Amino acid sequence: MQVEAWLQRAARLAPTTTAIQTADAQVSYAELHALARAGASELYERGARPGERVAIALAPGLAFAQALHACMLLGAVAVPIDLRLTSSERERLCGGAKVIVQEPAAGTTPTVEEVEMGVEESPAGQLPVLGEAMHDLDAVCAVIHTSGTTAKPRPVELSYGNFLWSALGSSVALGVDPRERWLCALPLSHVGGLSILLRSAIYATTAVIHERFDTDRVLQAIREQEITLVSLVSTTLARLLDAGLREPPALRCALTGGGPVPPALVARAHEAGVPVLETYGLTECCSQAATAPLSPGAPQLGAGVPLFCTRVEIAADGEILLSGPTLARSAAGPDGRLHTGDLGRIDGHGFLHVSGRKADTIISGGENVAPSEVEAVLEAFPGVLEAAVLGRPDPRWGEAVTAIVVMSSQADGEGHDGEGGEAGAEESALRAHCAARLASFKVPKQVRIVSEPLPRTASGKLLRRELQGISI
């Protein structure tokens, strides 16, 4: 099935609506369409053809959006590259790309004539007619690399149909305001950030793009720039609350995911008048799989309810299984479902609760311990900014439940390097806090307080494999 190219449709229906806003640029859909057509001409001249891969190694911003939409108008496959990777890592991800975009395309500022004419042909006259650009829903739109929490990043091919169904499912859960202004300070090389650009084009609404998360800039934007939606992870939500975010004037929803969201953090946000909704998703299902509904009086429990187009099942061993039109074709197992490797349950309200990764489960004294459950309890302790729980080899228990805790700046004091009386007292207090709320086998045998942030992926997921190197 084919549909009209999303950017072309937005430029036709909402030509003057702001498509992209960045720190130093703001373009309408008519202007972005002209830029994308010029970019498609340049890609064609460089050898890119429909179905071939184009690596986009640009920082989040207008030039990235131009290159992305240029690929889509041309029918080339976009491969976003995270610039924070080492040169050898970037080179590996660019393998197989026909063209690598490392500089902004020509025509970053379209002329009035280009906007009015839609850039009907390239300067060299080589580009095939783009008068009626279409998207084949079965064709690959982009190749996104997984965040690599347990292994090296893996490429996932997502089709136009995957992105369209994801946008439709998200719109049913969250609604769409014609004046939507969705703030993205997530990496565009990951599906959570990229989806904001594409959904905004499908909806013909505004994407406000920050090159990276900066607490002060994001806080100012939410307060002063009529931001209606923002995508966050737990750590960035906590930073905004620490910086004084309260009762944002236009914000409909702070969509928070990238891993379990501590209940204490959600409660803190609600007390500050910040409308937080939890979400659960993966690269393989094109971002969101479940999201809490944005409706007055709806229970706000766990990671939300499945998108209307996504089926969520729980296997006998507790693993979360996904199926539906947002699922990448290559991700499905022989049974047609994605075996996520995540553990969870569905409650009586139909809400999905994610308890952690199968591979992360700690077996201590023959009992199974979900790290995320213990982490949530630790993060409810006053002054705890973030916590990680893992199993360490132990001759008595097999694996000893071990906690690594980062205290907030307000709670920091001398001795947080794991030595000294104050740190010892705080560690004892943390263990006592857990003992009052958890079964004895779940209480950490050891607690280590550290001052550095815990290692995380660009999308906010905890890199547990890197925690093993922290001495206890």
Instruction: Give backbone dihedrals phi and psi of 469, rounded to 5 degrees, phi first.
Output: -80, -10
Are the CB atoms for 172 and 126 separated by under 8 Å? no
- In the listed set 339, 355, 371, which residue is the last one of a domain according to the structure? 355
The 10s digit of each residue's pLDDT in 364-407 is 887 878 888 899 899 999 989 889 998 888 877 888 899 999 98
**Listed range (3-17, 48-62, 390-404) with the worst mean pLDDT:** 390-404
Check the CA dihedral 147-161-67-236 and report its sign: negative
- 93 with 231, same domain? yes
Q: Which residues pair with 415 in a beta bridge?
A: none
Domain extent, residue 412, equals 361-469
Q: What's 88's domain CATH number?
A: 3.40.50.12780
> Quick one: average pLDDT of 254-279?
87
Are the CB atoms for 143 and 78 separated by under 8 Å? yes
Check the CA dihedral 423-427-428-430 and report its sign: positive
- 164 with 298, same domain? yes
How many whole angstroms separate alpha carbon 123 and alpha carbon 111? 14
Provide the whole-model pTM.
0.81
pLDDT exceeds 70 at position 466: yes
- 320 with 190, same domain? yes
- 449 with 435, same domain? yes
How many whole angstroms separate alpha carbon 369 and alpha carbon 320? 17
Q: What is the mean pLDDT of the chain?
A: 87
- 281 with 397, same domain? no
Q: How many CB atoms lie within 10 A of CB 50?
A: 13
- In the listed set 327, 355, 383, which residue is the last one of a domain according to the structure? 355
Are the CB atoms for 391 and 364 separated by under 8 Å? yes
How many whole angstroms separate alpha carbon 249 and alpha carbon 247? 6
- 378 with 233, same domain? no
- If 0-12 CB within 10 Å is exposed, 13-18 middle and 19+ buried, where does residue 453 land? exposed
Are the CB atoms for 70 and 103 separated by under 8 Å? no
- 156 with 34, same domain? yes
- 326 with 434, same domain? no
Q: What's 456's domain CATH number?
A: 3.30.300.30
